[in-house]
Amino acid sequence: MSSNKKPFIIGIAGGSGSGKTFFLNCFLHHFKQDEVTLVSQDDYYIPAGDMTQEENKLYNFDLPSTIDSEQFLRDIKQLMSGEVVYKKEYNFNNPLAVVKILEIKSAPIIIVEGLFILHFKEIAALLNHTIFVDADEQVALDRRIKRDGLERGYPEEDVLYKWHNHVVPAYKEYLLPYREQCNKVVMNNTNEPDEIIAITEDISNDLRNSILVDIQ
């Protein structure tokens, strides 16, 4: 990338259970390591401190106020100027998790992903291309129950409480209003990897043809 060319910023947004993480991993796979870098909203949660299971259930992580949006914005701008960002990886409030320090290097393509990236106006203004990953509500809920049970050990009752009281209201208020403004909407109701791999290949090929040539 020549010094006078700015990176191309791709925003990928999607609600809980939309399959955004799998989509993202497939999408990244179509680029070489030095072509793309990822900055994730999840790593900008403001630490909530130690909580009991009941406190964790009641605490609403699905609000923009739980994110350090100013640091998120500063780090994106730092990457845009070609600098390296060092960031603590978020451990989902697990006191037993080993905290890793992430080294995020700049690249010709910067992917910014998260629930509120379209809601945070200053971040949204930096995005050159936006992708919205969506799924039907029941499909998304089934995925959330499976993930939170297997990966985080949450009882189904707690998952359902958060879903109805936190997740769905946040999706409708802070994410859904921006869907039709996005460059691409991907409905991800299938659990067939081949379909998502094919979709991400098409999108990445289109982007590669239009932007990597321009920013070399």
The 10s digit of each residue's pLDDT in 56-89 is 778 898 999 999 999 999 999 999 999 999 988 7
Check residues 164 and 97 and name the one with the higher pLDDT.
164
Decide if pLDDT at 20 tops 60: yes
> In terms of residues, how long is the chain?
216
- Contact of 123 with 72, CB cutoff 8 Å: yes
**What local confidence, expressed as pLDDT, does residue 161 receive?**
94
Which residues partner with 86 through β-bridges?
103
Token couple for 183? 């460059």
pLDDT at 75: 97
Contact call for residues 66 and 60 (beta carbons, < 8 A) = yes
Whose tokens are 């971040």? That residue is 123
Q: List C-alpha distances in Å: 139 to 6, 78, 191.
A: 38, 37, 10
**177 vs 95: which has the higher pLDDT:** 177
Q: Over the stretch 81-101, which tens digit does the pLDDT of each residue have?
A: 999 999 887 766 566 667 788
pLDDT the model gives residue 8: 94
Q: Which CATH superfamily is domain 9-215 in?
A: P-loop containing nucleotide triphosphate hydrolases (3.40.50.300)
Neighbours of 28 (CB within 10 A): 17
Q: How sure is the predictor about 180, in pLDDT bands with cuts at 50, 70 and 90?
A: very high
Percent of the chain past pLDDT 70, that is, above it, reads: 91
pLDDT of residue 194: 87
Mean pLDDT over residues 25-37, rounded?
91
